């Protein structure tokens, strides 16, 4: 299983590490050098060994063939570096604000999912968001996730978190770390959470999923979705991770909202945030600016993003 991926990204070339948001931009001649080493079975050039140590605290074996741990993505033309895949439009919730109407449990067969993933790989997709509906309810979720990982994609999962406790999912996310696991938070109490999702017991399922994922050491990013059900719980939603004894780290806020005339970005002034899309001033200029599902929610009053580690 690869530890690093090297790939073209639009007009650049990158080395990235699954499970890490940090990457290295390299010139085309170094990409060619890696390509040559991967094809010939040669060890990694010294600059990669040094860079991996600095960037990811990763000690690569100097004598080991680079292809043992580096997955080389062939350059694609045209370049579609990012993709968002609604793997299944069904969901185990029925949120008031959901943009999906019928929520039919429909998806491609596994054979067609595999074909689609290969098409995306061949089109140059490096960052793949798997979303839904609720992606983890799809019968082929873990197989699809594993294949996307094997094809060298940096995967973001957008989920409501209610199925993260399932051993098969935890095992996949532990063995093949995602670029990001983004979890929507719909309230800080069962009353508000279940009220919004219109599923009794959904808050308990969410808590079970979160606890299991945290126990397994899976870093997550939270999207706090504040609606009229939870407007008076916003502060509690922010405090909730700390109250559970979990640490929170740097925030990369991404305010998306539908209430006209109101800015909800805690970090950027209204002038830098418009049309529901983050300005460069509000978002880091890294792959971490991948859009999240919150952008499509209609009645969510505000959303902020936190990273749990
Ligand atoms: S908003 Fe998300 S969790 Fe809620 S019903 Fe829609 S897909 Fe499901």
Ligand 1: which of 86, 92, 93 to mutate, most ligand atoms within 8 Å of CB?
93
The answer to whether 101 and 89 have CB atoms below 8 angstroms apart is no
Is pLDDT at 163 greater than 70 in this prediction?
yes
Is pLDDT at 215 greater than 70 in this prediction?
yes
Lowest-confidence region among 32-36, 264-268, 299-303: 264-268
Average pLDDT over residues 139-146: 98
Q: How far is CA 260 from the centre of its chain?
A: 28
82-289 under CATH 3.20.20.70, yes or no: yes
* 132 CB neighbour count, 10 Å cutoff: 26
* For the chain, domain boundaries: 4-77+292-308, 82-289
**164 CA to middle of ligand 1, Å?**
15
Tokens 């209430």, residue? 259
The answer to whether 293 and 264 have CB atoms below 8 angstroms apart is no
In angstroms, the CA 119 to CA 127 distance is 14
Does residue 91 line the site of ligand 1, with CB under 6 A?
yes
Would you list the DSSP string of 31-64? Answer: HHHHHHHHHHTPBPPHHHHHHHHHHH-----TTS
pLDDT in tens, 22-42: 999 999 999 999 999 999 999
Look at ligand 1, atom 4, and give the residue with the nearest C-alpha: 95
* 104 CB neighbour count, 10 Å cutoff: 12
pTM given for the model: 0.81
Is pLDDT at 296 greater than 70 in this prediction?
no
C-alpha to C-alpha distances, 148 to 82, 142, 155, 204, 255, nearest whole angstrom = 13, 10, 8, 30, 29
In angstroms, the CA 61 to CA 125 distance is 29
For residues 304 and 18, which has the higher predicted lDDT (pLDDT)?
Answer: 18
Does residue 89 line the site of ligand 1, with CB under 6 A?
no
Relative to beta strand 180-185, strand 23-26 is unpaired
For residues 292 and 244, which has the higher predicted lDDT (pLDDT)?
Answer: 244
Is pLDDT at 189 greater than 70 in this prediction?
yes
> Closest by alpha carbon to 3, among 46, 45, 57?
57
Give the position, in ligand 1's atom list, of the atom nearest the Cα of 297: 1
Does residue 233 line the site of ligand 1, with CB under 6 A?
no
Please provide residue 211's backbone torsions phi and psi, each rounded to the nearest 5 degrees: -60, -40
For residues 69 and 105, which has the higher predicted lDDT (pLDDT)?
Answer: 69
């Amino acid at each position: 299983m690869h530890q690093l991926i090297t790939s073209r990204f639009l007009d650049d070339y990158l080395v990235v590490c699954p499970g890490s948001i940090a990457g290295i931009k390299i010139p085309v001649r170094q990409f060619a050098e890696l390509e040559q080493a991967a094809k010939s079975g040669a060890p990694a050039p010294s600059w990669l060994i040094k860079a991996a140590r600095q960037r990811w605290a990763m000690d690569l074996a100097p004598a080991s063939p680079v292809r043992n741990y580096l997955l080389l993505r062939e350059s694609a033309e045209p370049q579609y570096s990012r993709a968002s895949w609604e793997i299944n439009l069904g969901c185990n919730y029925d949120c008031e604000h959901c943009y999906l109407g019928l929520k039919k449990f429909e998806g491609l067969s596994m054979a067609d999912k595999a074909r689609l993933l290969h098409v995306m790989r061949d089109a140059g997709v490096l960052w793949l968001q798997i979303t839904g509906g609720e992606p983890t309810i799809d019968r082929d979720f873990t197989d699809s996730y594993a294949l996307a990982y094997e094809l060298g994609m940096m995967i973001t999962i957008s989920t409501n978190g209610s199925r993260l406790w399932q051993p098969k999912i935890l095992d996949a996310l532990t063995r093949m770390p995602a670029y990001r696991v983004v979890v929507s938070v719909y309230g800080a109490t069962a009353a508000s959470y279940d009220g919004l999702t219109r599923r009794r017991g959904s808050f308990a399922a969410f808590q079970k999923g979160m606890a299991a994922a945290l126990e397994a050491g899976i870093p997550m990013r939270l999207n706090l979705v504040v609606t009229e059900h939870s407007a008076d719980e916003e502060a509690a939603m922010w405090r909730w991770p700390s109250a559970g004894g979990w640490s929170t780290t740097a925030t990369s806020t991404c305010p998306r909202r539908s209430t006209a005339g109101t800015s909800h970005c805690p970090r950027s002034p209204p002038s830098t945030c418009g049309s529901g899309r983050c300005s460069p001033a509000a978002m880091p200029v890294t792959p971490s600016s991948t859009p999240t599902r919150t952008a499509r929610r209609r009645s969510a009053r505000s959303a902020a993003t936190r990273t749990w580690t």
